[in-house]
Amino acid sequence: VIILGIFGVNTYSLIATAGVGGIIIAFGVQSIVKDLFSGVFILLDDQYNVGDDVIINSISGSVLAINMRNTQIQGYDGSVNTISNGSITTVTNFSKGNQRSVVTFCFPVDVDVEKIKKIISAYSIEFTEKNDSVIKAPEFFGVTEIQSYYIKIAVSLWSKQSTQWSNEKNLREELYKKFKEENIEFLKLEKGDKIV
């Protein structure tokens, strides 16, 4: 810098330019370093793996790739979302441990709740025996909502990781058939009615 000054080069503007350039580079590098460190901790902490069903920063889907700087998630609609690792604040992993599902049904308010309990109880053992991914037999969870024209009844179900959605769907279909066989009437909405 001193030598450049001797030759008449304005060193103040050169130093200022170098300083501003250094700050810009530092901010750019800071983001990259944050992403890299976050990527390392994601891998070390085993927060999620390729193929896991997750919700990351409100984006849900299946993990396609975990790179040092970002994570790619394929949404259930087929879209591919790329999230920088440094921006990840919340991770929900549905592929770790056993998963609980809740299946709900709406019936007219005067339905025989005790009869519904018996149907669920009678069928839950059969359902569990047919599905080796079910951890605990489905059970009557209770009446979760009462309105002037309907009640909502819930059934809980515990499944092995990544099987909860298929088990939930199957249980809903099978219980629907059982209720129909037992002449349990389902809610019929009148004009203007809605389920909350």
* The two three-digit tokens of residue 117, written as one number: 């309990």
Q: Domains of the chain: which residue ranges?
A: 1-95, 99-181
Arithmetic mean of pLDDT over the chain: 84
Mean pLDDT along residues 125-136: 90
Query: What is the average per-residue pLDDT within 156-166?
Result: 87
Q: Kindly report the pTM of this predicted structure.
A: 0.57
Task: Give tens-digit pLDDT for 44-59.
Answer: 888 888 988 899 999 9
The CATH code for residues 1-95 is: 2.30.30.60
User: Has domain 99-181 been given CATH number 3.30.930.10?
Assistant: no
pLDDT over 60 at 5, yes or no: no
Is 134 exposed, middle or buried (CB count within 10 Å of its CB: 0-12, 13-18, 19+)? buried
pLDDT at 36: 77
15-32 pLDDT, tens per residue? 666 666 666 666 666 777
pLDDT of residue 121: 92
